[in-house]
Structure 1
Amino acid sequence: MAKITYIEHNGTEHVIEVANGLTVMEGARDNGVPGIDADCGGACACSTCHAYIHPDWFGKLPQVEDMEADMLDFAYETDPKRSRLTCQIKVTDALDGLIVHLPEKQI
């Protein structure tokens, strides 16, 4: 289980314990965190779970796969140094303390 901090665009923080095996997107969705729409349900087909990973954490995550990179092209105001689709990040104990900033909107 990992404690993940989701920070809305307006600064509101949600600190949630997310079970291993779920995705960062599922942790947000299942706990009512606003700002993660997840229209495709986690199939990496919509980019509405886009978020900015805190710089201290970005390099600790698995590499972006080709499908995710393609979908990030459709996300709102991406940042190549911080943007990820949260449906593609599996939660493990190693992510305890992860900080995720949510964009102003999803497209």
Structure 2
Amino acid sequence: MTPELVARHGHVTRPKPGTGIKIHFKDAKGDLIKTIEGNEGDDVLSLAHEHDVDLEGACEGSIACSTCHVILSPEHYDVLEEPGDDENDMLDMAFGLTDTSRLGCQVKLDKKLDGMVCTLPAATRNMFVDGKKPTHH
């Protein structure tokens, strides 16, 4: 990438192994899918896509669907700010909603979230019927 493009679009630097904020993705049965590390400010949905975790995100993080619904570990859920009205509206449509459910696109990493578990629900409710799969941007 040319320096000009980096200046216009920025550059994402991933943390060196062992230095980032760890997130553990689990499936609906509680089995570990993958542990990844991100930077402060990264959102769970983008990191899932970057690391090939099967978290849909049909609206690409615009808070217009519930397909990036994740269930967080209670101790980490409690350190996050309350979800806004838009997020709550979308969560109302989420499959398998729990007391610690959030939209992955709205969960921004913070050092207090290190070691957080994000459990993927058994299914999602998606308005897409054409089999569209998420892609990393």
TM-score (norm 1): 0.90
Which segments of structure 1 move beyond 4 Å, counting only runs of 4 or more?
Answer: none
2:103 maps to amino acid: L
Report Cα offsets for 1:9-48 as digits up to 9, x if no partner: 24133100012221011111110012x1001111111110
The 5-angstrom pairing of residues 8-87 of structure 1 reads 8-10=27-29, 11-34=31-54, 36-79=55-98, 81-87=99-105
Q: Can you list the C-alpha shifts for 1:48-98, whole angstroms capped at 9, x where unaligned?
A: 00011112221111111111000111111211x111111101112221111
Unaligned runs of at least 5 residues, structure 2 = 1-19, 126-137
**Rg (Cα) greater in structure:** 2
Structure 1 distance, partners of 2:81, 2:115, is 16
| Structure 1, gaps ≥5 residues long | none
Aligned length: 105
Q: What code does the residue aligned with 2:32 have?
A: T
d(CA) in 2 for partners of 1:42 and 1:98?
20
Q: CA RMSD in A?
A: 1.2
How much identity, in percent, do the aligned residues show? Answer: 34
TM-score, with length taken from structure 2: 0.72
